[in-house]
Amino acid sequence: MNYYVVSISDWNLLSVAKPKIQFQCNECGAETPKWVGQCPECMAWNTLQESLVEKKTASNSSRFREHLAGPSEVCSLDSVEMSETPRQATGLAELDRVMGGGLVNGSVTLIGGDPGIGKSTLLLQTLACLDSASGVPSLYVTGEESAQQVGLRGKRLGLSLGSLRILTENHLERILNVASKEKAKVIVIDSIQTVYSDMLQSAPGSVAQVRECAAQLVRFAKQTDTALFLVGHVTKEGALAGPRVLEHMVDTVLYFEGDSSSRYRVVRTVKNRYGAVNELGIFAMTDKGLREVSNPSAIFLSRHDDQVSGSAIMVTREGTRPMLVEVQALVDQSHLGNPRRVALGLEQNRLAMLLAVLHRHAGISMSDQDVFINVVGGVRIAETAADLPLLLAIISSFKNKPLPNNMVMFGEVGLSGEIRPIQNGMERLNEAAKHGFKQSLIPVANNPKVAVPDMDIQTVTHVSQVMEKVGL
pLDDT digits (tens, 9 = 90+) for 142-156: 999 998 999 899 888
Query: Does the pLDDT at position 10 exceed 80?
Result: no
Query: For residue 404, what are the CA distances in angstroms to 306, 373, 437?
Result: 10, 19, 10
4: confidence class by pLDDT, cuts 50, 70, 90: low
Q: At what angle do helices 463-470 and 348-362 cross, to 10 degrees?
A: 90
The stretch 282-287 carries a mean pLDDT of 88
SS (H, E, C) the chain: CCCCCCCHHHHHHHHHHCCCEEEEECCCCCEECCCCCECCCCCCECCEEEEECCCCCHHHHHCCCCCCCCCCCCCCHHHCCCCCCCEECCCCHHHHHHCCCCEECCCEEEEEECCCCCHHHHHHHHHHHHHHHCCCCEEEEECCCCHHHHHHHHHHHCCCCCCCEEEECCEHHHHHHHHHHHCCCEEEEECHHHCECCCCCCCCCCHHHHHHHHHHHHHHHHHHCCEEEEEECECCCCCECCCCHHHHHCCEEEEEECCCCCCEEEEEEEEECCCCCCCEEEEEEECCEEEECCCCHHHHCCCCCCCCCCEEEEEEEECCEEEEEEEEEEEEECCCCCCCEEEECCCHHHHHHHHHHHHHHHCCCCCCEEEEEEEHHHCCCCCHHHHHHHHHHHHHHHHCCCCCCCEEECCEECCCCEEECCCCHHHHHHHHHHCCCCEEEEEHHHCCCCCCCCCEEEEECEHHHHHHHHCC
Lowest mean pLDDT among 23-37, 51-65, 167-181: 51-65
The string of pLDDT tens digits covering residues 340-363 is 999 998 989 999 999 999 999 988
Task: Report the alpha-carbon distance of residue 338 to residue 355 in Å, rounded.
Answer: 15
Q: Are 26 and 39 contacting, i.e. CB atoms less than 8 angstroms apart?
A: no
- Mean per-residue pLDDT, 205-223: 89
Q: What is the per-residue pLDDT for 445?
A: 92
Q: Considering the chain, what percentage of its residues have pLDDT values greater than 90?
A: 36
Answer yes or no: are the C-beta atoms of 385 and 410 closer than 8 Å: yes
pLDDT of residue 442: 92
For the chain, give the mean pLDDT: 85
Distance CA 337, CA 325 (A): 33
Is 177 in contact with 167 (CB distance < 8 Å)? no
Tens of pLDDT along 75-131?
888 887 777 778 888 889 889 989 988 899 999 999 998 888 889 999 999 999 888
The span from the CA of 424 to the CA of 442, in Å, is 12
pLDDT value of residue 279 = 84
Residues 6 or more apart from 18 whose CB is under 8 A from it? none
Q: How does pLDDT run across 20-39, given as a tens digit for each residue?
A: 778 888 777 788 888 888 98
The count of other CB atoms within 10 Å of the CB of residue 431 is 20
Angle, alpha carbons 77-251-318 (nearest 5°): 110
For residue 43, pLDDT over 90 is answered with no
pLDDT in tens, 423-463: 988 989 988 888 888 899 999 999 988 888 888 999 999 99
Give, in order, the Cα–Cα distances in Å from 9 to each of 2, 18, 38, 390. Answer: 21, 15, 41, 78
Is residue 140 very low, low, confident or very high in pLDDT (cuts 50, 70, 90)?
very high
What is the arithmetic mean of pLDDT over 280-284? Answer: 87
Its pTM stands at: 0.75
Model pLDDT, residue 69: 52
Region 307-315: what's the mean pLDDT? 88
The answer to whether 146 touches 168, Cβ cutoff 8 Å, is yes
Closest CA to 229 of 284, 259, 267: 267
Pairing type for strands 186-190 and 252-257 reads unpaired
What's the average model confidence in pLDDT over 320-328?
87
Residue 259 has pLDDT above 50, yes or no: yes
Per-residue pLDDT, averaged over 199-206, amounts to: 82
β-pairing, 264-272 vs 48-52, is: unpaired
**Measuring CA to CA, which residue among 197, 156, 192 is closest to residue 173?**
197
Average pLDDT over residues 197-214: 85
Question: pLDDT exceeding 70 applies to what percent of the chain?
Answer: 90
In a 10 Å sphere around its CB, with 0-12 CB exposed, 13-18 middle and 19+ buried, how is residue 69 labelled? exposed
Q: For residue 372, is pLDDT > 60?
A: yes
Does the structure show a pLDDT above 70 at 204?
Answer: yes
**Given pLDDT bands bounded at 50, 70 and 90, which one contains residue 15?**
very low
User: pLDDT class for 305, splitting at 50, 70, 90?
Assistant: low
| Mean pLDDT value of segment 169-184 | 92
Calculate mean pLDDT across residues 231-237: 84
Measured distance CA(262)–CA(279) in Å, rounded: 21
- Given a contact cutoff of 8 angstroms between Cβ atoms, the answer to whether 392 and 362 are in contact is no
Residue 13 confidence (pLDDT): 47
Q: Looking at residue 14, what is its pLDDT? A: 46
Residue 279 and residue 301 in contact, taking contact as beta carbons nearer than 8 Å: no
